[in-house]
Amino acid sequence: MLETLLITWRETLEAALVVGILLTYLARSGQRRALRYVWLGSAAAAVAALACAAASSSALAMLDGETQELVQALIVFGAVGVLSWMVVWMHLNARSLRGDIQVRAERVLATGRLVGLAVIAFVAVFREGIETVLFMWGVVVQRGVQLTTMPLLAGGLAGAGLAIATAWVFFRGFAFLSLRTFFRTTGVLLLLVAAGLLTSGVNKLIGLGYLPPLVPQVWNTSWLVRDGSPLGAVLSALVGYRSRPSLLEVLAYALYFPPMLWALNHGQPPPPADGRGEGGARSAA
């Protein structure tokens, strides 16, 4: 549930910021008649993302057992790749987010084709929705039978609600909040989640016989924290903890997380285009 909450919080917030920036800009520009296009585009994107989730679930159910396992492993690796890209991209572009969206909105308004606003909102929300679906599949594959529908749904709804509240706080102009700091902090947590997903995908391929474990068991900390215990579940959700990992899983974790953490901390975001600092969405209120 914790990784579900974190992922939906982050993804929903990104979509909410884009929609919020569009709505704020249109309201302040006296273009209130165009607001409904943003809402329609956002609603259509949410429905489309849910439809994709349902379709992917049905398609996966049609495969045989071993093929399902292989596809699930590929889904996990895909989620790791997209999650990694998203974390670094948002770190590099958080400052210029507001300015870029306003420029695109201005171009649409200049043409008079307001449906373009719906397209901007649709693309932003649908992209985050598809990423969320992919990440949730990764979480389901990682946790397997340990994860039931209700905790997944509860975590998702809690994360979405928290994201909406966070976006409201940013747009209210709370000076002590920094969008870049928020994305960097949650980025580190998401990289830990991604590292855990990566090791679970490696573990699945080892179980299918596609990869060798190298050493079946590097250590055994089940005497300290068992995998199925409450603490073990929390650590598994946040950092991919396993009490008895193979050497290949340890190597995958070690070769992924430190370089990604370095990229997150050393990537230099470009200076804000409009000179208004890193407040981004905050100053849009």
Reported confidence tier of residue 147, pLDDT bands at 50, 70, 90: low
Read off the pLDDT of residues 55-114 as tens digits, 9 standing for 90 and up: 877 777 777 777 888 888 888 898 888 888 888 887 777 777 778 888 888 888 888 778
pLDDT recorded at residue 283: 41
Tokens of 81: 């790749």
Instruction: Encode pLDDT of 197-229 as tens digits.
Output: 899 889 889 988 999 999 999 999 999 988 878
Q: Report d(CA 93, CA 234) in Å as an integer.
A: 31
Q: Which of 157, 161, 200, 197 is nearest to 4 (CA)?
A: 157
Nearest Cα to Cα of residue 239 among 278, 280, 197, 211:
197
For residues 152 and 1, what is the distance between their CA atoms, to the nearest angstrom? 6
CA-closest candidate to residue 156, choices 179, 183, 136, 172:
136
Query: CB under 8 Å to 160, separation ≥6 — which residues?
Result: 8, 9, 12
Pairwise CA distance, residues 11 & 167, whole Å:
12
DSSP string of 101-114, one letter each residue: HHHHHHHHHHHT-T
pLDDT at position 234 is: 73
Helix axis angle, 35-61 to 115-143, nearest 10°: 30
* Mean confidence (pLDDT) of the chain: 80
Residue 201 in contact with residue 224, Cβ under 8 Å?
no
Q: How far apart are CA 229 and CA 192, in angstroms?
A: 20
Q: Which 3 state secondary structure label does DSSP give 258?
A: helix
- What's the whole-model pTM score? 0.73
**Cβ 76 vs Cβ 198: under 8 Å:** yes
Q: Name the token pair of 109.
A: 């308004």
Question: Whose structure tokens read 């976006």?
Answer: 167
Average pLDDT over residues 106-123: 85
